[in-house]
C-alpha cells in the first residue's frame, strides 16, 4: 500500500512563532510530528503537547529516525548549530524556514536539503489561516521539490517555487510591508497616547488602507499631503515633531520618498 505524505515522520528544530504555527497546522492535517527541539524546556514542552510529540532541549538527543527536519531557528542560531542538526542523519531531508538565508547553507553538510518558507507574520498567541498564506519552496533534488510542494499544498492554495535570490527580495519586501508598517502603528500609538486618544480610532483607517490594495495598485492607492508635497500641512506636522528628532527625520524622509516616487 502506498503511504501518504502525512505518514512522513517530522522533527521541528525550534519552537518559536513560526514553528508553533506551522507544526500545529501540519498536525491538524494529519502529519506525524515526532519530536520538538528547543533551547528551553518551556517552549519545547508546550509545542510538543500541542502536537502529541516528544521533546528535547539537547540536540544530541534529537532522533535520527525522522525523514524530514524542519529547522525554524533565528538565522545566527541556524548557522551556528547546523553541523549538530544534521549529524548522524544522512538520509533525511533538511529544510529551513528563513526568508533571507540561501539554500546553499546546507551544501557540504547534508545530501538532501531545501527551504520551506511560509510568508506571513506569526505570533504564538494568534492562529493564522494557512489556506491563504503563500508558501515558497526550494530543494536541491527534484523529488524533494515535489515532496515539499505536496506538503505545502495540504496547507495552502498558494504554493510556489522560488530561488534563494527571489526569496531574499520577498523577505525584504515583507519587511517593508509588515515590520516597518507595524512600527508605524507603534509610533502612531505613542503619539495618540500622549494626547489621551485610543489607538482603536485608527483601526477603520488601517482596515480600509489594507483593503484598497486588493483592488488598486499601491501606487494608485496613495493619498495624503506628501503625494502633492503640501508644505503647509507637512510643515505643521514637522513642527509637532520638533521635540522628537527621530520621528521628525522619519516623517521628512518618508514624505520625500512618497513625493519622489509619484514623480516617476
- Res 178: pLDDT: 96
- Nearest Cα neighbor of 154 from 19, 65, 30, 15 is 30
Examine the pLDDT at 6 and tell me if it is beyond 90. Answer: no
- Res 67: pLDDT: 97
Residues 48 and 124 in one domain: yes
Residues 91 and 217 in one domain: no
Residues 174 and 138 in one domain: no
Residues 141 and 237 in one domain: no
Q: What is the mean pLDDT of residues 181-186?
A: 98
Residues 175 and 151 in one domain: no
Residue 115 domain boundaries: 5-162
pLDDT 10s digits, 15-41:
999 999 999 999 999 999 999 999 999
CA 216 to CA 214: how far, in whole Å? 6
CA 53 to CA 34: how far, in whole Å? 5
> For residue 120, what is its C-alpha cell?
506571513
Q: What is the mean pLDDT of residues 134-158?
A: 98
CA 13 to CA 23: how far, in whole Å? 11
Residues 229 and 243 in one domain: yes
Number of other residues whose CB lies within 10 A of the CB of residue 186: 9
Residues 35 and 84 in one domain: yes
Q: Place 5 in a pLDDT band, splitting at 50, 70 and 90.
A: confident
Where do runs of H (alpha helix) occur along the chain?
Answer: 17-28, 41-51, 75-86, 142-153, 164-174, 181-194, 203-215, 218-221, 225-228, 231-240, 245-261
Examine the pLDDT at 128 and tell me if it is beyond 70. Answer: yes
**Order of strands across the sheet that contains 9-13:** 54-56, 32-37, 9-13, 68-71, 93-96, 113-118, 135-139, 159-161
- Res 3: pLDDT: 63
CATH of the domain at 183: 1.10.1040.20
Domain end marker among 162, 197, 224: 162
Residues 135 and 230 in one domain: no
pLDDT 10s digits, 91-105:
999 999 999 999 999
Domain end marker among 162, 179, 194: 162
Which residues make Cβ contacts (< 8 Å) with residue 226, sequence separation at least 6?
234, 254, 255, 256, 258, 259
- Res 1: pLDDT: 44
Q: What is the mean pLDDT of residues 185-192?
A: 98
Examine the pLDDT at 2 and tell me if it is beyond 60. Answer: no
CA dihedral 155, 158, 159, 161 (to 10 degrees): -160
Domain end marker among 114, 130, 162: 162
Residues 125 and 200 in one domain: no
Nearest 5°: phi and psi at 159? -120, 130
Sign of CA dihedral 16, 22, 28, 31: negative
Q: What is the mean pLDDT of residues 220-237?
A: 95
Domain count, the chain: 2
Residues 145 and 194 in one domain: no
- Res 97: pLDDT: 97
Mean pLDDT of the chain: 96
Which residues make Cβ contacts (< 8 Å) with residue 155, sequence separation at least 6?
25, 26, 29, 118, 130, 131, 133, 135
Predicted TM-score (pTM) of this structure:
0.92
Contact 71, 97 (CB under 8 A): yes
Examine the pLDDT at 122 and tell me if it is beyond 60. Answer: yes
The DSSP secondary-structure symbol of 162 reads -
CA 143 to CA 90: how far, in whole Å? 16
CATH of the domain at 21: 3.40.50.720
Percent of the chain with pLDDT over 90: 96
Residues 23 and 130 in one domain: yes
Examine the pLDDT at 204 and tell me if it is beyond 50. Answer: yes
Residues 28 and 147 in one domain: yes
Amino acid at each position: 500500500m502506498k503511504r501518504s505524505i502525512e505518514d512522513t515522520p517530522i522533527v521541528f528544530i525550534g519552537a518559536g512563532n513560526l514553528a508553533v504555527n506551522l507544526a500545529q497546522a501540519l498536525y491538524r492535517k494529519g502529519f506525524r510530528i515526532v519530536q520538538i527541539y528547543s533551547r528551553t524546556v518551556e517552549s519545547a514542552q508546550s509545542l510538543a503537547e500541542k502536537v502529541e510529540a516528544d521533546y528535547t532541549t539537547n540536540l544530541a538527543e534529537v532522533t535520527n529516525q525522522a525523514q524530514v527536519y524542519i529547522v525554524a531557528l533565528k538565522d545566527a542560531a541556524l548557522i551556528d548549530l547546523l553541523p549538530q542538526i544534521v549529524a548522524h542523519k544522512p538520509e533525511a531531508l533538511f529544510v529551513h524556514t528563513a526568508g533571507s538565508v540561501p539554500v546553499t547553507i546546507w551544501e557540504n553538510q547534508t545530501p538532501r536539503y531545501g527551504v520551506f518558507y511560509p510568508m506571513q507574520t506569526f505570533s504564538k498567541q494568534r492562529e493564522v489561516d494557512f489556506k491563504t498564506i503563500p508558501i515558497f519552496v526550494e530543494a536541491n533534488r527534484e523529488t524533494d521539490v515535489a515532496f515539499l510542494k505536496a506538503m505545502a499544498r495540504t496547507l495552502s492554495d498558494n504554493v510556489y517555487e522560488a530561488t534563494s535570490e527571489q526569496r531574499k527580495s520577498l523577505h525584504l519586501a515583507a519587511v517593508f510591508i509588515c515590520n516597518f508598517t507595524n512600527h508605524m502603528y507603534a509610533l502612531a500609538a505613542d503619539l495618540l497616547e500622549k494626547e489621551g486618544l485610543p489607538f482603536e480610532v485608527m483601526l477603520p483607517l488601517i482596515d480600509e488602507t489594507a483593503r484598497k490594495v486588493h483592488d488598486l495598485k499601491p501606487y494608485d492607492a496613495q493619498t495624503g499631503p506628501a503625494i502633492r508635497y503640501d508644505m503647509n500641512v507637512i510643515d505643521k506636522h514637522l513642527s509637532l515633531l520638533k521635540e522628537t528628532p527621530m520621528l521628525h527625520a522619519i516623517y521628512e524622509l518618508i514624505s520625500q520618498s512618497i513625493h519622489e516616487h509619484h514623480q516617476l
